[in-house]
A and B are shown apart, each in its own frame.
Chain A
Amino acid sequence: MATTTDSSNTSATTTTENATSKTIKIQSNDGETHEIDQGVVEQSSTIKTLSDLMDLGDVPIPLPNVKGSILTPIVEFCNYHKNDPKPEPLDDDDDDDPNKDIYEPKRSDDICEWDQNFIKRFTVQEGTLFDIIMATVGCKTIANMVRGKASSEVREMFNISYDPPGEGLNAPNAIESQAGTVPTTQDTSATGPSPQPDPMN
């Protein structure tokens, strides 16, 4: 059943406020239609490309990979974030914070409160977290869920059946159980001719 939702109620920019703002319609694979403004369009390379290429008038752009139940929160997310500063490039070349640990890994604990509450609506069990991942902070959330977990916990968390990735070295838990039992000097050239107690253990 097709439903039409006017998602511009949270938008700061509407056609009445800004005559130059163009709105387009997008449609989920189950027929749900949303009218979105240019601020939202700019956040989706797919929609932007399609809207640039096609002048569809009132005909909605079809999004065959997106369900209506996911498209609605995506539009809500984009409306909330449409006035955000443009994201910096993925490389951190222009990071000018001198207090930053320059060799620290990418942060994933910097999800803003609104986004954290937003993402709570989606779960691994229902698969909705993966539906929303394409447009939101899902990558960092998944990384946070995985960090520090054992392989078996990751399999359980994401409903992955055990499929031995390799033999010998890569057998699950094999490495953890080796800790403390592996010779401390596998490469004699690394520690000199006289093996010594190695604090790396």
Chain B
Amino acid sequence: MSISYLYTLPIELIHRIIDYIDTETLFFSLQNVCKHFYTIVNTYNQHQLDFRSITKPKFDFIHRLINPENIISLVISDGHRTGGQIKLFLSLFDLRTFTRLRSLALIDVTMSVSIEYLQDVSTDTLDSLSIDYVNQLGLTNNLVSLSLKKFINLRKLNISKTSLILDNIQSPIQHMKLSQCIINTQMYNILLGFPHLETLSLNNVSIPNIDENLTAIMKVKSKLKFLSIEGCGVHMNMAAAVLVLTPSLVRLKLVSWSLMAERFWDVLLGKAD
């Protein structure tokens, strides 16, 4: 057989295939197959680059091929196999040139470096932000709250291993996941500050206990549909109080809870009625 049917596909369909191909295969395999694919990969403008498992020689190669305007998603990591990658990337690129970046993930990043990143990232396009700090629990982090005021189109937030200040925020975020964090804010303030929140996942999060007297008078119009609480950092009666504040809740996931207070069941069963 002398013809390749892959050649006959319209370029839009090959782009759809590329949507599902990982960064390493794309740049070290597909792009080298032939001139046709080299051109297609070069002109592809929906790159979702994930450098979590990219060794430094390959990182050095890929970074020379990157056109920042064609990157819509970026994952950079200082993990055990990729140490130094986050600062290296910052030294090679002006983040302001990533004008179409919609999703940014920094893994094992320090507070100071994350500040450098977030000050230059496009504020108009970013809709997903994930920061996995290398344990920064001892440092008070107001960067996240400042960023929430800056990234007006942010809809997803994923933060790990830091001490968060979430006071005085009005954010359009719909999906939030906090892991191994210390939060300074009571739950009803979070629900007030994030009125569009639909999913909230708290994984081993320490949060102030809720003032039950306040839950009765708080005018919280939460749209929360999914709540997941894992670990013992959240007080039982607070979970019960949250149920009162979240009339739209349809899924509740509790993991690693040894005891269920009587009031919790009362509220839950009342909700089911």
Contacts and interface: CB of A to CB of B under 8 A. Distances in A.
Interface of A: 90-91, 93, 95-99, 102-108, 124-125, 127, 129-131, 133-134, 139-140, 142-144, 146-151, 153-155, 158-166, 169-172, 175-176, 178-182, 184, 186-187, 189-191, 198-201
B272 interface: no
B103 A103 contact: yes
Contacts of A105: 20, 22, 48, 50
24 contacts: A96-B199, A98-B199, A98-B201, A102-B128, A102-B158, A103-B50, A127-B5, A133-B13, A139-B19, A142-B6, A150-B29, A154-B33, A155-B34, A159-B3, A159-B5, A160-B4, A165-B33, A165-B35, A175-B61, A181-B57, A182-B60, A187-B91, A199-B80, A201-B57
Nearest to A144: B20
A186 B60 contact: yes
Contacts of B214: none
Interface string B33-50: 111111000000000101
Q: What does DSSP make chain B's interface, helix, strand, loop or mixed?
A: mixed
Given A102-B128, A143-B21, 11 more contacts: A99-B201, A131-B5, A133-B9, A139-B19, A147-B25, A153-B29, A170-B32, A175-B28, A182-B57, A184-B56, A199-B81
Contacts of B199: 96-98
Nearest to A131: B5
Given A103-B75, A179-B58, A184-B56, A151 B29 contact: yes
Given A134-B13, A187-B92, A190-B84, A147 B156 contact: no
B101 interface: no
B29 A142 contact: no
B5 A129 contact: yes
Nearest to A108: B20
B6 A158 contact: yes
A158 B4 contact: yes
A143 B20 contact: yes
Contacts of B57: 175, 178-182, 201
Contact of B17 (A131, A146, A161): A146
A82 to B, nearest CB: 22
* Max chain B Cβ within 10 angstroms of own Cβ: one of A105, A149, A162, A179: A105
B103 A172 contact: no
Contacts of B16: 139
Given A98-B226, A147-B25, A190-B84, A106 B60 contact: no
Contacts, number: 181
Interface string B69-98: 000010100001111110110011000000
Contact of B59 (A99, A103, A169, A200): A200
B198 A96 contact: yes
A169 B80 CA distance: 27
B25 A106 contact: no
Contacts of B31: 165, 170
Nearest to B10: A134
B150 interface: no
Contacts of A91: 102
Given A139-B13, A146-B17, A198 B32 contact: no
Nearest to A153: B29
A171 B82 CA distance: 25
A195 B13 CA distance: 45
Nearest to B74: A103
Contacts of B21: 143, 146-147
A149 B155 CA distance: 35
Contacts of A201: 55-57
Contacts of A107: 20
A102 B103 contact: yes
Contact of A200 (B81, B103, B130, B225): B81
